[in-house]
Amino acid sequence: MPVGTQATIKGLTPDQLHATGTRMLLANTYHLALRPGERVVAAIGGLHTFMGWEGPILTDSGGFQVFSLSARNRVTDQGVTFRSHLDGRLLELTPEHATTIQEQLGADVAMCLDHCPALPASKTAIADAVERTIAWAKRCKAAHTRTDQALFGIVQGGSHADLRAQCAEELLALDFDGYAVGGVSVGEERAEVREALAVTTHLLPVERPRYLMGVGRPQDILDAVATGIDLFDCVMPTRNGRNATCFTEKGYVKLRNAAHRSDPGPIEEGCDCLACRRFSRAYVRHLFMAKEMLGPILASIHNLTFLHRFTSKIRAAIAVGQFVQFRLDVLEALGQ
């Protein structure tokens, strides 16, 4: 899922987004609750109508942004109080509130409010966050009324197998529609992400979607799929795109490099995205040097197309029992 923080994947129309292979996207509850407000979105008919996207949408709970973006946030068992990063207003986010806002936004999948502590954290702090995450998940489940909206639980616990197991066990008892692995990709190294996944994914039911939040590098996706993860979201394809960095099977291409100045070739040979079919590296580089919007747009289109092609190759490799070899080949080509 690409990330449409403010109900738009930056610079792309829904048709352009669909053409990249995108079928589901994520929008951020925190940002949308602050602006334009969930009531405005509901008045227009919900997120799908508001942003013109007919495919599935997932909203996060808002918790991650409260912890990372807002000023002076304070966590109690009741919820989180924080100041808006836009205007400094003092606000409170509780499990009930997070659930109601997401029902008003009207995405297809809502997420429970979880407590995602800043890392590194002591095991005691992480255990504390796990307890709170479980208590909050119960309250989200109780507050959730829309039958046309799925609700996913989020497993916390860092890289501690016992805490992850405790969290998963309690969440499974609540019978969520899907489960997410939270608290990874917030600054850890690849090895730590792998460790957290190794002790978590297998605890989650294979017949429900298993979702790794905030991960999107090809090598990390491969690691996660190897443990059984089905669903990802990440800002990287679009954020990297806006910074003129493009994914290719051979690694990153930095489009601002002078080497591309007169290069008539596409961003990636053989890619069928709009950017690669119609434009040269020389042109896309020119757009970035001239600070033209079309540069970020074309690079985002390429990166999203690349990642969707990549995950579709993963599905094909799994289907024919070749995933292990596929993974090795990809990592070798990337030099990972």
Active-site residues, by number, are 60, 233
Structure tokens at 231: 């669903």
Of 123 and 278, CB closest to a second copy: 278
- Provide the strand spans (E) within the chain: 25-27, 57-59, 71-75, 80-83, 90-93, 109-111, 150-155, 178-181, 210-212, 231-232, 245-248, 251-254
Of 11 and 153, CB closest to a second copy: 11
Of 204, 287, 299, 304, the one binding a second copy (CB under 8 A) is 287
Contacts of 62 (CB under 8 A, 6+ apart): 28, 29, 30, 33, 93, 98, 101, 113
Of 81 and 245, CB closest to a second copy: 245
- Residue (of 21, 12, 9) closest to 309 by Cα position: 21
Measured distance CA(245)–CA(129) in Å, rounded = 36
- Residue (of 128, 186, 191) closest to 157 by Cα position: 128
Of 126 and 298, CB closest to a second copy: 298
Identify residues 127-186 at the interface with a second copy (CB under 8 A). Answer: none
Identify residues 297-326 at the interface with a second copy (CB under 8 A). Answer: 297-298
**To the nearest whole angstrom, how small is the minimum distance from the Cβ of residue 153 to a second copy?**
30
Measured distance CA(134)–CA(236) in Å, rounded = 29
Backbone angles phi, psi at 316, to 5 degrees: -65, -40
Kind of pairing, strands 150-155 and 109-111? Answer: parallel
Of 1, 2, 3, 12, the one binding a second copy (CB under 8 A) is 12
Of 52 and 120, CB closest to a second copy: 52
Q: How many CA atoms lie within 13 A of 243 on its CB side?
A: 8
Contacts of 189 (CB under 8 A, 6+ apart): none
Q: How many other CB atoms sit within 10 Å of the CB of residue 78?
A: 12
Of 2, 3, 14, 213, the one binding a second copy (CB under 8 A) is 14
198 binds a second copy per the rule CB under 8 A: no
Identify residues 247-286 at the interface with a second copy (CB under 8 A). Answer: 261-262, 264, 274, 278-280, 282-283, 285-286
Identify which range of 10-18, 65-73, 109-117, 251-259 contacts a second copy by CB under 8 A: 10-18
Identify residues 35-54 at the interface with a second copy (CB under 8 A). Answer: 35-36, 40, 43-45, 49-52
Measured distance CA(306)–CA(283) in Å, rounded = 19
Of 279 and 306, CB closest to a second copy: 279
**To the nearest whole angstrom, how small is the minimum distance from the Cβ of residue 44 to a second copy?**
5
243 binds a second copy per the rule CB under 8 A: no
Identify which range of 132-140, 147-155, 199-207, 296-304 contacts a second copy by CB under 8 A: 296-304
Name the DSSP letter for residue 241: H
Of 290 and 320, CB closest to a second copy: 290
Of 294, 308, 310, 331, the one binding a second copy (CB under 8 A) is 294
7 binds a second copy per the rule CB under 8 A: yes
87 binds a second copy per the rule CB under 8 A: no
Contacts of 168-171 with C-beta under 8 Å, sequence gap 24+, read 168/200, 168/203, 168/204, 169/203, 170/134, 170/137, 171/134, 171/137
Chain residues in the site for a second copy (CB under 8 A): 6-8, 10-16, 31, 35-36, 40, 43-45, 49-52, 261-262, 264, 274, 278-280, 282-283, 285-287, 289-290, 292-294, 296-298
